[in-house]
Structure 1
């Protein structure tokens, strides 16, 4: 099976009463992006809007060909607390997920996720969301 061309992973938490400082303290990392509900936000295009809910996001550098998904996820988790009680507290209080984008180099590629990686995601109470972006052979 041919490897995925590129993988992007973002850890995301959201909730109406989410306090980004609390998550930063408990997880031990500074988010890539965070806001409280009702906070003003500005898009990359400069358009202003208001946060509909609180959020805390941490993006890991994209994986390139040759780096396995499991290795990239380990890089993300190494930045964060290993304290599973803290993770369970957050996952019970907020919606937590891993947003994963798989970018295909050809129209037929695949990825395998080890049972250890699936276990690490589950132990943290996180949902796993997969977005697959297909390469066009045209």
Structure 2
């Protein structure tokens, strides 16, 4: 089975009372994007939308595969279980994975070490699979 053509991974932390500056301080890294509940932002279509929840997102493309992308992203973050326990108690935390296929026979696997990194941080992997247009 050939590897998936392209993938993106994003650590997503969301919640009504989320303070993006606090999350940045706790994790020690600037997010790719963040918002507070009620913030107005312009989306790609040019329309303004009001954020229904606060969010803090750290994203990366994964040219070396899904495992490498998740590992690289989590490698930038603290491993301290107390930090992740606190975040998971107060917010919804997950690892979004967007998988983009060129061919119907492509696939991706998560190795045990990467699954362990996700479990250690209480992160659920979410997989969205897309067919890339020719």
Give the TM-score normalised by the residue count of structure 1.
0.90
- Structure 1 segments, 4+ long, off by >6 Å, are none
Q: What is the match of residue 131 of structure 1?
A: 128
Number of paired residues?
A: 134
Q: Does 1:87 align with 2:84?
A: yes
1:34-76: per-residue Cα shift (whole Å, max 9, x none)?
A: 111111211123211211111101111x122xx2321111110
C-alpha RMSD of matched pairs (Å): 1.5
CA contact (8 A) 2:29 2:77 kept: yes
Q: Which secondary structure does the structure 1 equivalent of 2:126 belong to? A: strand
Structure 1 residue 135: deviation in Å? 4.6
Instruction: Give unpaired runs (5+ residues) of structure 1.
Output: none
> How many Å separate the matches in 2 of 1:135 and 1:107?
10
Q: Which moved more, 1:90-99 or 1:71-80?
A: 71-80
1:12-51 matches, cutoff 5 A? 12-51=12-51
Q: What is the match of residue 63 of structure 1?
A: 62
Give the TM-score normalised by the residue count of structure 2.
0.92
